[in-house]
Amino acid sequence: MKSIVIASLAAGALCALPALSAHAQGFTVPKNTCAKPEEYPGHLASQSRVKAWQKQMDDYGTCIKKYTADQRSIADAAVKAGNDAVEEYNQVANKAKEAIEKSKN
């Protein structure tokens, strides 16, 4: 009886994997919308042109850092949700295992 229940729990977990995989595949991560700087103007460019380019580079870097921080936050939340689901599953499986053991006595 115990092996049937554990096998059922394991089969249920395996059946859920394709659904999770399909869901993850349907999720698209938005590309960054940061404005890329123009090409470096070169050493013959005026000081104001070089300064303008440097500002573009700084703004681009700030935008990319914000984008990556936002994406990291989303990823961290997804990992936490997955870990919480595994913990919940483990608790339910352990409770079922305890019930099986008690029913034997």
What is residue 1's predicted lDDT score, i.e. its pLDDT?
46
Two tokens at 83? 């870990």
- How many CB atoms are located within 10 Å of the residue 37 CB? 16
Q: List the chain pLDDT tens, one digit each, 105 residues.
A: 444 544 454 455 545 545 555 456 678 999 999 999 999 999 999 999 999 999 999 999 999 999 999 999 999 999 999 999 999 999 999 999 999 999 987
Q: How far apart are the C-alpha atoms of 39 and 60, rounded to whole Å?
A: 13
| 33 CB-near residues (< 8 Å, 6+ apart) | 63
Tokens 């096998």 belong to which residue?
Answer: 7
pTM above 0.85, yes or no: no
Q: How far apart are the C-alpha atoms of 55 and 38, rounded to whole Å?
A: 11
